Each structure stands twice: as C-alpha cells, then as structure tokens.
Amino acid sequence: MNAVRAMERTPPAGTPASETRASQVVALFREHNAALVGFLRARLNSLADAQEVAQEVYLKLLTLGPDTAIDSPRAFLFRSAANLAVDRLRMRNVRAAAPVDPDHDDWHVTPIPEQHASAVEQWRGLREALDELPPKTSRAFVMHVIDGRDFASIARDMNLSERMVRYHVGNALAHCREHRDRAETPR
C-alpha cells in the first residue's frame, strides 16, 4: 500500500516511537473523527456500528509497527475504515443468512431480564420522542407504525391528504431517529 510509508519522517530526538505514533493518532482523531464517523454511518446505517468501526481503525493505527510509516494518514484512515465497513456488512449478511438453530429457537418465550429492561427503555425513549412532537404528527405516526394502518385510512380519519399524512409520519420517523441517536451518543 502506497499510503504506508512515512507518517512522520523525523520524530523529535529522545521521543519513543510509541509516543510519537500515539500523538499522531490523537491528532488524527481530533481532526477527522467526526467526518470518519459520518462516512461510516452512511455506509453502515448505524451510529453505534460506525463508532465501533472507527475505534477499530484507530486501534489498527496504534498497533502498526514502529518502522511502519504512512504517507497520507487521512487517506489511510478512510481506506482502512472503508475496508472494515465492508467486512462488517459481510458479517451482517452471513449472520442474517445463517439458519436458526431450532433447538434454541425459544429464547423469546421467557424474556431475559436484560432484554426486558432494554425493551422498556426503548419504549420509554419512543414515548419521550413522540411526546415532543405536535399531536397530529404523533397521532399519524402511531396510527401508521404501531397500528399498521395505511396512509389512505389515516388521511380519512384525520381529515388530511395522504401527502400530509406521509409528511407527518416522515417527520416523526426522523425525530425518533434523532432522539435515539442522541441517546446512543456518549457525552
């Protein structure tokens, strides 16, 4: 790989290579992390996965040998991230295609306390997000997503056009995603 050659050609005298590499990775993190996570989020469609893959990339940079140098750190960062994102997507596809073990298919019958707590927390987050919305938007969302009704019947009940119902449901979905992402983002 051409990018791997000269990350920093001449470290200051007396500085151990590991400290130099660590300070370079910290500088890369500060300068490019927001863009890197955004790039990965677009590819993986998940903020949590994007943050995890970004962390793997920084770890990979830290574990490179002391004699390994990089010409273009930003390019190396994004190329490594793209490669790891492809690996993550492949892993998702393999897991999705894997047959379910019929002997252990009853996990949903008796809820695990952690699953129950997580579901309650997610439900609470959804309720909070819906409470922040205007009543029409919240009602249209509940009728479509939770009750499973089509846009035409919601439009008739709410005396709105189907287009307005779609608008309200779309706004509610975007707001719920934003609310979830805010809850996932560490402070």
CATH number at residue 70: 1.10.1740
* Residue the block writes with tokens 């470290």: 11
Whether residue 64 sits in one domain with residue 134: no
| pLDDT at residue 105, as a whole number | 57
Report the predicted TM-score, pTM, of the whole model to 2 decimal places.
Answer: 0.47
Whether residue 80 sits in one domain with residue 145: no
Q: What is the percent of the chain with per-residue pLDDT over 70, rounded to a whole number? A: 82
Whether residue 92 sits in one domain with residue 34: yes
In a domain, 3, yes or no: no
Query: Which span out of 14-28, 57-71, 160-174 was modeled with the highest average pLDDT?
Result: 160-174
Whether residue 161 sits in one domain with residue 90: no
Phi, psi of 103, rounded to the nearest 5 degrees: -70, -25
State which residues form the domain around 91. 17-97
Whether residue 90 sits in one domain with residue 41: yes
Whether residue 92 sits in one domain with residue 160: no
Structure tokens at 46: 């998940």
pLDDT per residue as tens digits for the range 44-55 = 988 889 999 999
pLDDT per residue as tens digits for the range 50-75 = 999 999 998 888 888 878 878 888 99
Query: What does R_g of the chain's alpha carbons equal in angstroms?
Result: 23
Query: Poorest-confidence range of 35-39, 117-121, 128-132, 165-169?
Result: 117-121
Instruction: Enumerate the H helices of 68-150 as residue ranges.
Output: 73-97, 113-131, 135-141
Instruction: Give the residue from 45, 47, 39, 49 showing the smallest Cα distance to 75.
Output: 39
| pLDDT at residue 85, as a whole number | 93
Q: What is the DSSP letter of 104?
A: G
Three-state DSSP at 130 gives helix
Sequence-separated (6 or more) residues with CB below 8 Å from residue 97: none
Specify the amino acid at residue 40.
Answer: L
Whether residue 135 sits in one domain with residue 84: no
Structural domains of the chain, count: 2
| Span between the terminal Cα atoms of the chain, in Å | 36
In a domain, 10, yes or no: no
In a domain, 109, yes or no: no
Residue 166, pLDDT > 50, answer yes
| pLDDT at residue 168, as a whole number | 92
**In terms of C-beta distances under 8 Å and separation of at least 24 residues, what long-range contacts does 139-147 make, across chains too?**
140/165, 140/168, 140/169, 140/172, 141/168, 141/169, 141/172, 141/173, 141/176, 144/169, 145/169, 145/172, 145/173
pLDDT per residue as tens digits for the range 92-116 = 888 887 766 655 555 556 667 777 7
CATH no. for residue 169?
Answer: 1.10.10.10
